[in-house]
A and B are shown apart, each in its own frame.
Chain A
């Protein structure tokens, strides 16, 4: 060819086009909005409706929240400060803060005791909730119930010590004889505990409470959110073991034990908690010996524990039923007896499956502790509906109080459910 061809224009590009940004409608917020908010006509309508709803909610609540008054002594004063403007009167929270948290009878000089008990509760719960922590911390968890009892109720320190010693004796007997025969260890432990408690009961001198380090506070003086927390924590921790026992009883092949558990579970699940609280407040004292005075707090704890144990039993039964039969057979073929098989093979797996359900029950139970206000115990809701709203200073300030109660419960319940989701992820052993 001639060299004229060297003059022809190259038709293959020999340089790379610099990368260009995608078209404006395919990037960033615009694209996201088009895909997620306005993908079709009905979708756009939904979006607009949602926006209107959000605007309505925010336009009423935000000024109310931001304009809040925090430092007055009564609703009338508060209205004066607001001077006709929209605004919340949060001063009821600051002024009645202690009542909301501790009830109106707990001695003000002793508030440090429940506070300390709460801080210690967090420490005691930590090794239970986060099992990466050193196992030795569990020793404190074991002591905590007695310590908390002494802190909150006060009185003679001998009472919690004797109670603790009973459990220690029981644990000792179980360690010694439980290896050979579970039944022997189990019943021996019960006998040991009862003996220690009875002997210890005689050793505590009369009137020991009057000269105690911490002044005694009767149960009826407890109140506020503290009461909700105490009921919630006590009843959940008591009802989990009871629920496991009931679930195992219901799965048992001994007809009598199975039927006792079935009747109990179905009965408790069939009636509302309020009726059980009525039992606690008006009926249960008829079933105790005539000279025994079992206080209302204990009676309520008994009934709420029985109530949630029945629900937890059903959740755990689901977990037990979800285990493949091979797991039971494998345990048998290893020559493990029933308690060993349950403790080492079945229950760890079944409990892991039941975690979401147990947490559901726990959250529900914590919310249900507000029901004690119906049998005139002054928990958070009881305080709000009773002493605070009835007082002349704060008659008519509903939203701040109810909103505060809702906020407290939301924080705790949402926290628990987030924890359970974390736990599920943490315990997931199937590599999916």
Chain B
């Protein structure tokens, strides 16, 4: 290494484009860019020719036209005179509703099954293993259809509730399980502050938010006292009061009452109707994804070193507290990333609603609207755009949460 001479300046040769590592990556990228451009040009050219041949053009004007179809399950005002765009919004809200409900119940099922599968009770752990294997290995579409069949073909029709010798009866005189859906009592306000029910519920939410902030203050004070004196004041009763009193007061002042479903004529009226398709989709997605979450929970708990449990036991903690204070907080770090993808899967699988006639975005925009207007390209693109946005938002939110529970390393 003593004699350093500049390498001879090589003349640039064409073969260096392939053989010289300095230029090779540029060559490959140029080829890739060329192929990509050609492919896009080819596909775009075909598209233009085909559209011209079919006398079509790409336009989103159809979204403003009246839709001309009805939607059973809806969260906002909608009728057949509303626009296709509004139908799509109804669909989006329905998708979000079923995805939200399923995420919650799937997590509950998954955590219960996952923990029980590690139980030292042989029978229970085997039962949970069977649950997980059966639900993971059968397509979710079949589960949705099975539960939809139970909802429509097995449940009694409304007329079986009628008469003195009715074969079916309402549960507690409050809930009616029929083949047209489940009817549950609906709360409403006799003397609400606003005319709209939604606004009144916002008032209730505001009361809850107030309780939340007061409770946080109480907890902070308790922690402060604990740090000063070593004894944590008991906040159970204060907490109960702070949470319950404002809400109950608001509900009482606004005159909360319940509208109980009643059998009138051929069908139940009043109350909230939860349609069969919604229940089928909700329940099927929950038990199906629950089986996957159960495996994640089990893996997460098993990933925690047994020494942690033993150390906690040596400190004198009881099994329940070991689980809550030592094992679960650490296991969450392992559980949350796959949980995020399970939530994403639920959102995407909710598109199977089209198989049971639940009016989600796939059924409205990608189903009836597409068939009525024939605007395949526009509808499918909008559909994809919605799911992409939803997926990105869910993973963003969950990643923020993930960052807050992950191991804080110095």
Give residues of chain B (131-177) contacting chain A, Cβ–Cβ below 8 Å. 133-134, 136-142, 145-146, 149, 153
Contact of A381 among B28, B36, B145 (CB under 8 A): B145
CB of A53 within 8 Å of the partner chain: yes
Do B32 and A417 touch across chains, with their CB atoms under 8 A apart? no
Of A53, A385, A409, which one neighbours B145 at CB under 8 angstroms? Answer: A385
In the assembled complex, B392 has its CB within 8 A of some CB on chain A: yes
B1-34 residues at the A interface, CB under 8 angstroms: 18-19, 25, 28-29, 32-33
Decide yes or no whether A275 CB sits under 8 A from chain B. Answer: yes
Are A46 and B51 neighbours in the complex by a CB distance under 8 Å? no
Q: In the complex, which of the residues A256, A278, A286 contacts B50, with contact meaning CB atoms closer than 8 Å? A: A286
A405 at the interface (CB under 8 A from B): yes
Across the two chains, which residue of chain B brings its CB closest to A51? B123
Q: Closest B-chain residue to A288, C-beta based? A: B46
B384 within 8 A of A: yes
Q: Contact check, B25 vs A272: say whether CB atoms are below 8 A apart.
A: no
Contact of B119 among A46, A283, A399 (CB under 8 A): A46
Q: Give the residue of B149, B352, B366, B391 whose beta carbon is less than 8 angstroms from that of A278.
A: B366
A287 sits at the interface (CB 8 A): yes
Tell me the complex Cα distance, A255–B33, Å: 11
Contact with B along A262-277 (1 / 0, CB 8 A): 0000010111111100
With contacts A287-B47, A374-B355 taken as known, whether A256 is within 8 angstroms of B33 at the C-beta atoms is: yes
Q: Decide yes or no: A275 and B29 within 8 Å by CB, A286-B46, A368-B139, A374-B355 being known contacts.
A: no
Q: How far, in whole Å, are A386 and B293 apart by their CA atoms in the complex?
A: 33
Q: Is B43 an interface residue (CB 8 A)?
A: yes
Partner of B46, one of A39, A290, A368: A290
**How near does chain B come to A304, taking the closest CB pair, in angstroms?**
14
B183-191, B264-272, B322-330, B375-383: which one contacts chain A? B375-383
A340 on the interface (CB 8 Å rule)?
no
A233-286 residues with Cβ-Cβ distance < 8 A to B are 253-257, 260, 267, 269-275, 278-279, 282-283, 285-286
**B387 in contact with A275 (CB, 8 Å):** yes
Q: Any chain A CB within 8 A of the CB of B53?
A: yes
Given A290-B50, A385-B145, CB of A254 within 8 Å of CB of B123? no
B149 with A398: CB separation less than 8 A: yes
Q: A50-B123, A274-B351 are in contact. Are A267 and B134 (CB under 8 A)?
A: no
In this complex, which of B25, B32, B137 has the most chain A Cβ atoms within 10 angstroms of its Cβ? Answer: B137
Q: A254-B28, A286-B47 are in contact. Are A270 and B391 (CB under 8 A)?
A: yes
Tell me the bound Cα distance from A273 to B352 in angstroms.
9
B153 contacts A260, C-beta separation under 8 Å: no
> Given contacts A409-B137, A414-B133, are A279 and B380 in contact (CB under 8 A)?
yes
**B127 CB–A CB distance under 8 Å:** yes
Is A367 close to B, CB under 8 A?
A: yes
Q: Determine if B362 is an interface residue (Cβ-Cβ < 8 Å).
A: yes
**Contact of B349 with A by CB under 8 A:** yes
Please give the distance in Å from A390's CB to the nearest CB on chain B.
14
- Smallest Cβ distance from A277 to chain B, in angstroms? 10
Q: Are A278 and B380 in contact (CB under 8 A)?
A: yes
Partner of A373, one of B116, B140, B146, B355: B355
Q: Does B333 contact A (CB under 8 A)?
A: no
Q: Which residue of B lies closest to A48 (CB)?
A: B123
- Most A-side CB within 10 Å, residue of B47, B49, B362, B376: B376
The verdict on A282 contacting B376 (CB below 8 Å), with A183-B18, A272-B349, A275-B362 known, is yes
Asked if B74 is at the interface of the complex by the 8 Å CB criterion, the answer is: no
State how many angstroms separate the Cβ of B34 from the closest Cβ of chain A: 11
Is A181 engaged at the interface, CB distance under 8 Å to the other chain? yes
In the bound complex, CA of A374 to CA of B387 (Å): 18
CB neighbours of B380 from chain A (8 A):
275, 278-279, 282-283
Known: A181-B18, A282-B370. A275 touches B351 (CB 8 A): yes
Pair B145/A36 contact, Cβ less than 8 Å: no
User: B29, A254: Cβ atoms under 8 Å?
Assistant: yes
CB distance from B287 to the nearest CB of A (A): 13
A371 and B352 contact, Cβ closer than 8 Å, known pairs A260-B32, A283-B380, A405-B142: yes
Query: What is the minimal beta-carbon distance from A26 to any residue of chain B, in angstroms?
Result: 18
Identify A43's interface contact among B121, B142, B149, B377, CB under 8 A. B121
- Chain A: interface residue total (CB-CB under 8 A): 57
Instruction: Tell me whether A402 is interfacial, beta carbon within 8 Å.
Output: yes
Q: Which of A275, A287, A288, A396 has its CB near the most chain B CB atoms (within 10 A)?
A: A275
Q: Are B36 and A271 in contact (CB under 8 A)?
A: no
CA gap between A405 and B49 in the complex, in Å: 43
Contacts of A256 in B (CB 8 A): 29, 32-33
A410 to B28, CA, bound (A): 45
Residues of A close to B47: CB separation below 8 A: 286-287
Is there contact, CB below 8 Å, between A370 and B53? no
Check if A119 is an interface residue, CB within 8 A of chain B: no
Bound together, the chains give a CA A46 to CA B122 distance in angstroms of 10
Task: Indicate if the CB atoms of B28 and A257 lie closer than 8 Å.
Answer: yes
Establish whether residues B387 and A43, one from each chain, have CB atoms under 8 Å apart when the complex forms: no
Within 8 A of B (CB), among A144-169: none
Interface flag for A54 (CB, 8 Å): yes
The reply to whether the CB of B273 lies closer than 8 angstroms to some CB of chain A is: no
With A47-B123, A275-B362, A286-B377 known to touch, is A402 a contact of B145 (CB < 8 Å)? yes
Expressed in whole angstroms, the minimum distance between the Cβ of B44 and any Cβ of chain A is: 8
Which residue of A is nearest B35, CB measured?
A260
Contacts of A396 in B (CB 8 A): 153
User: For residues 340 through 364 of chain B, which have their beta carbon under 8 Å from a beta carbon of chain A?
Assistant: 348-349, 351-352, 354-355, 362
Given contacts A37-B123, A47-B124, contact A406 B351 (CB under 8 A): no
Q: How far is the CA of A269 from the CA of B351 in the complex (A)?
A: 14
Q: Is the CB of A253 within 8 A of B25?
A: yes
A381 touches B352 (CB 8 A): no
CA distance A272 to B33 in the complex (A): 28
A271 and B376 in contact, given A46-B121, A381-B141 (Cβ under 8 angstroms):
no
Do B138 and A409 touch (CB < 8 A)?
yes
Known: A47-B121, A283-B377, A374-B354. A270 touches B137 (CB 8 A): no
Q: Are A274 and B121 in contact (CB under 8 A)?
A: no
- Residues in A lying within 8 Å of B, measured CB to CB: 36-37, 39, 43, 46-47, 50-51, 53-54, 181, 183-184, 253-257, 260, 267, 269-275, 278-279, 282-283, 285-290, 363, 367-368, 370-371, 373-374, 381, 385, 396, 398-399, 402, 405-406, 409-410, 413-414, 417
Known interface pairs A256-B29, A274-B362; 5 further A-B residue pairs with C-beta atoms within 8 A, sorted by A's residue number: A37-B122, A51-B123, A254-B25, A274-B351, A283-B376
18 example contacts (A-B, Cβ-Cβ < 8 A) are as follows A36-B122, A37-B121, A37-B123, A43-B119, A50-B127, A183-B18, A270-B391, A278-B376, A279-B380, A283-B377, A283-B380, A285-B50, A286-B46, A287-B50, A363-B137, A368-B139, A399-B149, A402-B142
Give chain B's interface residues, CB within 8 Å of chain A: 18-19, 25, 28-29, 32-33, 36, 43, 46-47, 49-51, 53, 116, 119-124, 127, 133-134, 136-142, 145-146, 149, 153, 348-349, 351-352, 354-355, 362, 366, 370, 376-377, 380, 383-384, 387-388, 391-392
- A-B pairs, 9 with minimum CB distance: A272-B348, A413-B137, A36-B122, A367-B139, A282-B376, A272-B351, A270-B391, A270-B388, A256-B29
